[in-house]
Amino acid sequence: MPANLTPQYLEVELKFKQAKTTPEKIKALEVMMAVIPKHKGTERLRGQLKSRMAKLKEELQKRPTVARAEQAYNIKREGAVQSVLLGLPNSGKSSLLSRITGAFSEVADYPFTTRKPIPGMMTYENLQIQLVDTPPIQLDHIEPGFPNLIRNADVLLLLVDLAEGPLFQMDILMKELNEMRIKAVGKGPIPSMESGWICLRALVVGNKCDLKNAMEEYRKLGNRFRDTFPMLPLSAREGMNFEELKKEVYQLLDIIRVYTKVPGKDPDLTEPVILKKGSTIEDVALSVHKDFAAKLRYARVWGSGKFGGQMVKRDYVVSERDVIELHL
Ligand SMILES: Nc1nc2c(ncn2[C@@H]2O[C@H](COP(=O)(O)OP(=O)(O)O)[C@@H](O)[C@H]2O)c(=O)[nH]1
Ligand SMILES: [Mg+2]
């Protein structure tokens, strides 16, 4: 039976053939399906159009859309602290992640090897610190999803290659953070920010200190930044200063570790309770269970500068390494 296709149909069919992108093809195909005469003679053709449409839609799904790219930037927080590595291409971010956490991130001496963030875990004493490797920071270009990843971090590690003009690299990092309305601060009080802005703790890390002249460059970097940020030279390749790096990250955070114990037993020193500096006995109780905080009568504390087992009230401010026995 002849199909007797109308000129209207043939016109959109031509459009379909000329379409270059999948969305354009889908659009044209939709019109074709709408205008094709619906009779026995076009039955087979209509079937073909339908399956073609299904294929095109599938193709569209497979593509990394902006939303999908953004999703890659949603890194699940793990451990007590999240730190994010930021740096220009080839500064050594992936090398550092691999060496210090054992997580796999491709390392190569050409730029843009890392296309999405990759997390790993490092251990500092009894603390788990998540480290996230990221795609390189680029001048005047910000990947969607990247600002959010950074904003959610507790600490930023600004990694510069000491052999490739570290001052210039820092300029670009600061400029792009500024574009994202992120202010990196070292130690000291967190300034109050305009709305839309966020303030994050940051550490400047000079990588490749194993290379010739690197320490000279590091000193120049220090002249400009040591009053603003804690700094550290390091070699991701040689594994130099890794313990110091973890310690610096820990010290940058305004946190303390305390331990809880039950009467008559020793505390479990492998499971610290992580609290903000200035936290009280009540906060300790809250971190255990909210009922504990409500029922709390007093606590006993062991730690430096107190009598062992000293009795304290709920508003007592705890300090690093205190051992606390809660009494309900
Ligand atoms: N000499 C030296 N080379 C390093 C060091 N860290 C990384 N590299 C090299 O620098 C290049 C880029 O490293 P990569 O980790 O992929 O950098 P990324 O682009 O920042 O992730 C590679 O050739 C690494 O082997 C280091 O501490 N010392
Ligand atoms: Mg990389």
Q: Provide the residue ranges of all domains of the chain, joining segments of one domain with +.
A: 7-62, 75-252, 255-327
Q: Which of 107, 114, 234 to mutate to test the pocket of ligand 1 (most atoms within 8 A of CB)?
A: 107
What pLDDT does 158 receive?
98
Query: Dihedral sign, CA of 169, 175, 181, 187?
Result: positive
- The H or E element spanning position 185 is strand 182-185
CB–CB of 327/299 below 8 Å? Answer: yes
Give residue 109's pLDDT band: very low, low, confident or very high (50, 70, 90).
confident
List the CATH code of the domain at 255-327. Answer: 3.10.20.30
Measured in degrees and rounded to the nearest 5, phi and psi for residue 237 equal -70, -45
Rounded Cα gap, residues 251 and 87, in angstroms:
21
**Is the CB–ligand 1 distance for residue 134 below 6 Å?**
no
**Is the CB–ligand 1 distance for residue 107 below 6 Å?**
yes
Nearest residue (CA) to ligand 1, atom 7: 92
Nearest atom in ligand 1 to 133's CA: 21
> Would you say the CATH fold of 255-327 matches that of 75-252?
no
What pLDDT does 72 receive?
84
**Is the CB–ligand 1 distance for residue 89 below 6 Å?**
yes
Beta strands 81-87; 155-161: pairing state: parallel
Give residue 224's pLDDT band: very low, low, confident or very high (50, 70, 90).
very high
Mean pLDDT of the chain: 91
Q: How far is the CA of 111 from the centre of ligand 1 (A)?
A: 10
Give residue 157's pLDDT band: very low, low, confident or very high (50, 70, 90).
very high
Homologous superfamily assigned to 75-252: P-loop containing nucleotide triphosphate hydrolases (3.40.50.300)
Name the percent of the chain lying above pLDDT 90: 67
CB–CB of 83/154 below 8 Å? Answer: yes
State yes or no: pLDDT of 106 exceeds 90. no
Rounded Cα gap, residues 253 and 202, in angstroms:
10
pTM for this entry: 0.75
Question: What is the number of residues in the chain?
Answer: 328
Rounded Cα gap, residues 132 and 82, in angstroms:
8
Q: How far is the CA of 98 from the centre of ligand 2 (A)?
A: 10
For the stretch 159-206, pLDDT in tens is: 999 999 999 999 999 999 999 999 999 988 888 898 999 999 999 999
Write out the DSSP string of 261-306: E-TTS---TTSPEEEETT-BHHHHHHHH-HHHHHH--EEEEESTTS
What pLDDT does 64 receive?
62
Q: How far is the CA of 7 from the centre of ligand 1 (A)?
A: 62
Q: How far is the CA of 94 from the centre of ligand 1 (A)?
A: 7
What pLDDT does 65 receive?
60
For the stretch 40-51, pLDDT in tens is: 999 999 999 999
**Is the CB–ligand 1 distance for residue 260 below 6 Å?**
no
Exposure of 259 by Cβ count < 10 A (0-12 exposed, 13-18 middle, 19+ buried)?
Answer: buried
Give residue 281's pLDDT band: very low, low, confident or very high (50, 70, 90).
very high
Measured in degrees and rounded to the nearest 5, phi and psi for residue 128 equal -95, 120
Neighbours of 286 (CB within 10 A): 17
**Is the CB–ligand 1 distance for residue 207 below 6 Å?**
yes
What pLDDT does 187 receive?
84
Q: How far is the CA of 61 from the centre of ligand 2 (A)?
A: 28
Measured in degrees and rounded to the nearest 5, phi and psi for residue 198 equal -140, 150
